[in-house]
């Protein structure tokens, strides 16, 4: 689909999909910049990862302890 005006070479209109994609890209760029500039934001975003890793470690320790106890 050619969205340029043949006489002027400019874009004639934007579709709703163009606007949605444009806003999504803009939001991603703004979020990336905020993430790079804010250590507090990085810590908040990555906190669930560290909680999950700690939960897995704790689970593994419990499972390891159960295997070492004779039945």
- Number of other residues whose CB lies within 10 A of the CB of residue 45: 13
CB 32 within 8 A of CB 38: no
Q: Does residue 18 have a pLDDT over 60?
A: yes
- The domain limits of the chain are 35-71
Question: pLDDT: is 2 or 59 the higher one?
Answer: 59
Sorted by sequence, the CB contacts under 8 Å of residue 4 that are 6+ apart come out as: 10, 11, 12
Q: Is the pTM of this model over 0.85?
A: no
Judged against a pLDDT cut of 70, whether residue 70 lies above it is answered with no
């Amino acid at each position: 689909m050619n969205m340029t005006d043949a006489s002027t070479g400019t874009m004639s209109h934007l579709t709703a999909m163009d606007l949605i994609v444009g806003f999504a890209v803009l939001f991603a760029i703004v979020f990336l910049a905020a993430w790079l500039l804010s250590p507090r934001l990085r810590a908040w975003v990555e906190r669930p990862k560290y909680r999950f890793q700690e939960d897995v470690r704790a689970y593994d320790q419990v499972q390891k302890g159960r295997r070492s106890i004779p039945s």
